[in-house]
């Protein structure tokens, strides 16, 4: 979920959480594809056994999908002709594990052709990613439709790792998400890896007064500087989002309280009394974090926007 972009405030899509005729339901596929949950879980589990980075990749993919045009699987579409798709936008270049969704879709199609949307498969896979990493489980509301539009230019709307709390709050509120949701969903950074580019501004030439961001613990900054040298840096240089990067837990919040949040956006959660209280609450109780995360994930994954059920997740019908 490492967000790497600047928010374009001039072109704001107003989102609404699914309701009314478009409302999602827990039993949406009860008669048409009753085994969809287990089929997707098996696909995610199979991939994860071979590659421990898969859960973080799927969770991030789902966030990045929902934050552009709602959870409509527009992030899965390939670029075609002159149209550069979301997955080729700068913040999404490092997204991976699309093959996991392809494999799940293939299995779902074999069982119930033309019924289950790619958007629902991605929402289910994100839940499975959390559960298989030791996090909480929840029932995923279903009935999303797949979108027919995907533009790389719109990825500038993703929250950036350099955002301050006001920018983060604006980005989330435009999508109907509260400060509580912002802090809980930031906890998704308990999984995964970040390249140096997402935090290098904090560890060198921070501003005219400080070389290193004063909100970062000096020893943490020193370790990051050694991983991300000024020159001759390895292409994939970077570090894990928190010390237990393949386990879904509340270590992320403990790290922030120790001034060891990786992104400016992570550390900025301490800059208002309300968000700081939530960070403290989640750092002291994994159960409190899990409960809040589940509630906010259901809310975020209910931002809808699609029109069809794709046959192939990479191309429109």
Catalytic amino acids?
64
Tell me: is residue 181 an annotated ligand-binding position: no
Tell me: is residue 90 an annotated ligand-binding position: no
* Whole-angstrom distance, CA of residue 126 vs CA of residue 58: 5
Tell me: is residue 213 an annotated ligand-binding position: no
- 313's CB contacts (< 8 A; 6+ apart) are 73, 76, 77, 98, 101, 102, 105, 118, 121, 146
* Whole-angstrom distance, CA of residue 274 vs CA of residue 256: 15
Whether residue 150 contacts residue 75, with contact meaning beta carbons closer than 8 Å, is answered with yes
Tell me: is residue 35 an annotated ligand-binding position: no
Among candidate residues 26, 97, 80, the one with its CA nearest the CA of residue 301: 26
Question: In whole angstroms, how large is the CA radius of gyration of the chain?
Answer: 19
The position carrying tokens 């501004």 is 201
The position carrying tokens 């392809």 is 102
Tell me: is residue 51 an annotated ligand-binding position: no
* Whole-angstrom distance, CA of residue 261 vs CA of residue 256: 4
* Whole-angstrom distance, CA of residue 140 vs CA of residue 24: 9
* Whole-angstrom distance, CA of residue 124 vs CA of residue 16: 20
Among candidate residues 19, 288, 29, 17, the one with its CA nearest the CA of residue 139: 29
Whether residue 156 contacts residue 7, with contact meaning beta carbons closer than 8 Å, is answered with yes
Tokens found for residue 174: 């435009």
Terminal alpha carbon distance of the chain: 28
Tell me: is residue 214 an annotated ligand-binding position: no
Tell me: is residue 190 an annotated ligand-binding position: yes
Tell me: is residue 159 an annotated ligand-binding position: yes
Tell me: is residue 86 an annotated ligand-binding position: yes
Binding residues for heme b: 189
Binding residues for substrate: 159
Binding residues: 65, 70, 72, 74, 86, 159, 189-190, 242, 249
Binding residues for Ca(2+): 65, 70, 72, 74, 86, 190, 242, 249
């Amino acid at each position: 979920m490492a967000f790497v972009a600047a928010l374009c405030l001039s072109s704001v899509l107003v989102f609404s959480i699914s309701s009314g005729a478009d409302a999602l339901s827990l039993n949406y596929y009860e008669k048409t594809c009753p085994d969809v949950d287990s089929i997707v879980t098996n696909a995610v589990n199979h991939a994860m056994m071979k590659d421990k980075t898969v859960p973080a990749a799927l969770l991030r993919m789902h966030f990045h999908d929902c934050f552009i045009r709602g959870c409509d699987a527009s992030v899965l579409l390939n670029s075609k002709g002159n149209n550069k798709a979301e997955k080729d936008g700068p913040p999404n270049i490092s997204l991976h594990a699309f093959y996991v969704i392809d494999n799940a879709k293939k299995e779902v199609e074999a069982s119930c052709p033309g019924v289950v949307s790619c958007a629902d498969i991605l929402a289910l896979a994100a839940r499975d990613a959390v559960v298989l990493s030791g996090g909480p489980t929840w029932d995923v509301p279903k009935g999303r439709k797949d979108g027919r539009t995907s533009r790389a230019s719109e990825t500038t709307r993703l929250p950036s790792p350099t955002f301050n709390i006001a920018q983060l709050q604006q980005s989330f509120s435009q999508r109907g998400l509260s400060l509580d949701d912002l802090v809980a969903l930031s906890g998704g950074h308990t999984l995964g890896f970040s390249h140096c580019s997402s935090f290098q501004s904090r560890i060198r030439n921070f501003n005219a007064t400080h070389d290193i961001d004063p909100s970062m613990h000096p020893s943490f900054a020193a370790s990051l500087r050694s991983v991300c040298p000024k020159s001759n840096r390895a292409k994939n240089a970077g570090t894990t989002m928190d010390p237990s990067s393949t386990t879904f837990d509340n270590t992320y919040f403990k790290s922030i309280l120790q001034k060891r949040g990786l992104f400016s956006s992570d550390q900025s959660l301490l800059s208002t009394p309300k968000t700081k209280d939530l960070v403290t609450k989640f750092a002291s109780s994994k159960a409190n974090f899990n409960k809040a995360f589940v509630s906010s994930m259901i809310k975020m994954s209910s931002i809808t926007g699609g029109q069809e059920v794709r046959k192939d997740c990479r191309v429109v019908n």
